[in-house]
Amino acid sequence: MNGKDTTGRDVEARIIRLKLVDGTLVNGQINIKRDKGYDRLSDLITNNSEPFLVMYNVTAHPGHIDNPIHYKTLFINKIHIIWAEPDEEQR
């Protein structure tokens, strides 16, 4: 999904993985070009102007549930993120 959204901003999708404080593992996509001047996952995670990370096409694997949960869009509060990594195989 590369191109422009309806507001005219550049969109560059990246697949990432997160682990949350409750042990949930999350896989999904982010728009790496969400903010001007930001082009790395660490830029989005450490940016304090927005407290939430917006993900789409998400699969969450909570530790207490056998089957993963799928979300079209998911807003994750950054204070709940233990670690985040890009999917290096997409390059």
Where do we find the tokens 């304090």? 48
* Its pTM surpasses 0.95: no
- Which stretches of the chain are assigned E, i.e. beta strand? 2-4, 10-20, 25-31, 52-61, 69-77, 81-86
Q: What is the percent of the chain where pLDDT is above 70?
A: 85
User: Domain ranges in the chain?
Assistant: 2-90
Encode pLDDT of 45-89 as tens digits.
Answer: 888 888 999 999 999 999 877 889 999 999 999 999 999 999 877
34: left (phi over 0), alpha (psi -120 to 50) or beta: alpha
According to CATH, the topology of domain 2-90 is SH3 type barrels. (2.30.30)
